[in-house]
Amino acid sequence: MDWQTSEDTVPSSPVTEADVRSLLGRPPATGAWRDGDPVGDRRFAAFGAFRTEGGAELPSYRLAYETWGELSPRRDNAVLILHALTGDSHVRGPAGPGHPTTGWWDDIVGPGAPIDTDRWFVIAPNMLGGCQGSTGPSSIASDGYEWASRFPYLTTRDQVAAQVRLADALGIDEWAAVIGGSMGGMHAMEWAIGYPERVARVGILSAPPVNTADQIALNSVQLEAMRIDPRFQGGQYYDAADGDGPHRGLALARRMALLNYRSPTELNQRFQRSWQSGVSPLGHGGRFAVESYLDFHGNRFTRRFDANSYLTLVEAMNSHDIGRDRGGVEEALARVTATALVLGIDSDRLFPVDGQQRIARGIRNTIDDEAVVLVSDFGHDGFLIETPAVGRHLERLLAT
């Protein structure tokens, strides 16, 4: 079985020769979805001018999104699902034309699933600034060239403001639930705090109330790994031939990130000190299995993501502070009127559970009066791997 993580699909065993063969050939300059590529299950909503918190302006933008289920005549059964950093709108469904990976929450969303699409109308957008159909740095600007490094700085609040327009366009005045994990959990909080009258329930999974200095520091080295790749060219790489884009820097950033998404226990138990090739690492040419694992997923990532989008989205995550201009974290959380599920993973070293506990203490109506903490060896990615347990808690939230 394959496990979908917040950032990619990770097999449960060490990388095989077949896995490596799947990456033969030169990687593209960008792994972004581009106009003219197969649309797959995407839908698109186009909007006019958008001004960011920082005062920059996009003359227009679009959001790619996918839906499952049917919107009720009263429009009261809509559930918004918000993806993690390098996820996208493809929450459910197979890989295929237009969709480089399988749905990242197939076990959670669907007919008879915890988020039952026989009852709920589920919408999942690709974030503004992303690279899988929504406007982002790889999109073409009005001058006929990619936005690239000219794309404006976004905050999480900017991205939620863009989603508000999508809700308006779909005629959804109130979400039955807004649910997100990791970066998506940041957006779910912004919905519940900034637009409390539009959110009946909120699910905040493995997300912090603020991005701390430690988390910003971890992000900074990933971003620098891309910037120092000579082929990054200040973000102006879209016309490069395949193989000449900043894939080495992007792959290195991805490998760094994976170390934050998984726990030491899981990596040590899975790989121990085994090596991938038939040659011992004590000799020439041998590689530890964990090194091959990181390399494989770094290289695979470059075939479905864009370096400039990675910069844009990580910097938006760095902006995350629900207390900014609201009197602090607790004052902000006091604005939430939705019934809340706040869930963390005990082994999460990216967003430790003390953050989720603080969120739960500040919200007046959580389903357990405290954060739900799952025991898991899988670290941050546990909210996407431990689907039976996560699903049970989401069912509880939706039953309120």
Q: Which residues are catalytic?
A: 182, 348, 380
How far, in Å, CA of 254 to CA of 24, rounded?
19
Question: Structurally, how many domains does the chain consist of?
Answer: 1
Question: What pLDDT, in 10s, does the model give residues 134-185?
Answer: 999 999 999 999 999 999 999 999 999 999 999 999 999 999 999 999 999 9
Whichever domain contains 320, its CATH number is 3.40.50.1820
Q: How far apart are CA 233 and CA 245, in angstroms?
A: 9
pLDDT (tens digit, 9 = 90+) per residue, 284-341? 667 788 888 888 889 999 999 999 999 999 999 999 999 999 999 999 999 999 999 9
**Given this model, what pLDDT does residue 291 score?**
85
pLDDT of residue 23: 54
The predicted structure's pLDDT at residue 285: 62
pLDDT reported for residue 283: 59
Ramachandran bin of 112, using left for φ above 0, alpha for ψ from -120 to 50, beta for the remaining angles: left
Which residues, given as ranges, of the chain have pLDDT below 50? 1-22
Q: Residue 275: its pLDDT value, please?
A: 77
Task: Look at strands 61-68 and 43-47 and give their pairing.
Answer: antiparallel
Q: The domain containing residue 213 runs over which residues? A: 2-399
CB 84 within 8 A of CB 317: no
